[in-house]
Structures are given as structure tokens and as C-alpha cells.
């Protein structure tokens, strides 16, 4: 046999392979990738929504805030009797071993209207929370320090006119 000659083609028919099943590999891969990227924001958003609408009722700092609003004479004077925590507008948490600090912007509702309470609290891992500051802005725009039980001086901002 000469090295330059090609072997003769076989006249045998090609082998009969089983028909390939249709695969959805790309579809499943894309769905899994989408799930990996979308699941964390959806879970965080769901937890945030739950905390803002229901979870704050179980928060120890916000429980102390609710009690303070119900019991404090300045809060009753500004918002009326029976004022309640209606929601949390914002929160910031800070934690170091042994101590944590929480800051909240709380929406309050009472018979005289809505108020806003800026609260800062700290607590140890095993102790109850202690409020460091609680500044209430009443429906009329006046500000009150609920920790030191005094009205704060006017800060010069415009006040809503509630007269008839």
C-alpha cells in the first residue's frame, strides 16, 4: 500500500443513533441565574416591609417608645390622649460587641394629629433598652424633649396654620 493513497470509503451505512431528546438546558440555566440574582433583594424587601408594617410591634426599643408616648404628659399635650405608634419612617442600627445603638424616626398618631418622634437608644446584649433622646415634633410643628420633659426653643422653620 502506498503512503499517498487514501483508503477506499466504506460503503456501510452510517450508524443509527437514537433520536436526541429536546433539552431545556438554556431555559433552566437562565431561570436559576435569575433566581440567584432576584431572590436576595426580594427576601430583603419582604423583611423590610414586614418590619415596617408589623415587626416594629415586637421591637423592644419601639415598645419603650410606645409606652413613653402613652405615659408622657408632653406627648399627651401635643398629640392628645391615646396617641399610638403608627409606623417607622426610618431606622439605623449600630452594633459593637456588648452594646448596640438604635435610632428611629417614628410616626405617631393621636386625636390632635400626626407627630414625628426621633429616638436614639442603646442596650447591652442582656439588658433592656435605655432611651438616650426622644424629640417629638407635634402636629403644630413645636418640638418637645420627652426625656428631659421640656419644650425646645423654636428653630425658625415655618409652622402650619391650623386656625379656622
Order of strands, sheet of 143-145, starting from the edge strand that comes earlier in the sequence: 84-96, 99-110, 113-124, 130-137, 143-145, 150-151
Q: Which long-range contacts (CB under 8 A, 24 or more apart) does 65-70 make?
A: 65/104, 65/106, 65/117, 65/119, 65/131, 65/134, 68/131, 68/134, 68/146, 69/108, 69/117
Q: What is the pLDDT along the chain (164 residues), one digit of tens a residue?
A: 555 666 666 666 666 777 667 777 788 888 999 999 999 999 888 887 776 666 666 778 888 888 888 888 888 888 988 888 887 787 777 777 777 888 889 899 999 999 999 999 888 777 788 889 999 998 888 899 999 888 888 765 655 555 55
| pLDDT at position 117 | 92
pTM of the model: 0.61
| pLDDT at position 2 | 58
Contact 84, 109 (CB under 8 A): yes
Cα–Cα–Cα angle for 94, 100, 104, nearest 5°? 60
| pLDDT at position 135 | 92
Contact 66, 59 (CB under 8 A): no
CA nearest neighbour of 88 among 98, 102, 68: 102
| pLDDT at position 36 | 92
51: left (phi over 0), alpha (psi -120 to 50) or beta: alpha
Residue with cell 432611651: 131
Q: Is the dihedral of CA 40, 52, 56, 129 positive or negative?
A: positive
| pLDDT at position 10 | 62
Residue with cell 410591634: 57
d(CA 92, CA 103): 5
Amino acid at each position: 500500500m502506498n503512503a499517498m493513497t487514501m483508503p477506499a470509503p466504506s460503503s456501510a451505512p452510517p450508524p443509527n443513533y437514537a433520536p436526541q431528546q429536546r433539552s431545556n438546558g438554556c431555559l433552566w440555566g437562565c431561570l436559576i441565574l435569575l433566581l440567584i440574582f432576584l431572590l436576595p433583594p426580594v427576601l430583603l424587601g419582604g423583611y423590610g416591609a414586614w418590619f415596617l408594617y408589623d415587626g416594629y410591634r415586637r421591637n423592644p426599643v419601639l415598645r419603650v417608645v410606645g409606652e413613653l408616648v402613652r405615659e408622657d404628659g408632653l406627648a399627651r399635650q401635643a398629640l392628645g390622649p391615646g396617641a399610638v405608634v403608627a409606623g417607622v419612617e426610618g431606622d439605623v442600627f449600630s452594633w459593637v460587641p456588648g452594646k448596640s445603638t438604635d435610632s428611629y424616626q417614628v410616626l405617631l398618631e393621636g386625636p390632635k394629629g400626626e407627630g414625628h418622634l426621633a429616638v436614639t437608644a442603646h442596650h447591652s446584649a442582656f439588658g433592656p433598652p435605655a432611651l438616650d433622646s426622644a424629640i417629638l415634633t407635634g402636629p403644630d410643628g413645636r418640638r418637645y424633649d420627652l426625656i428631659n420633659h421640656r419644650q425646645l426653643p423654636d428653630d425658625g422653620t415655618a409652622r402650619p396654620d391650623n386656625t379656622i
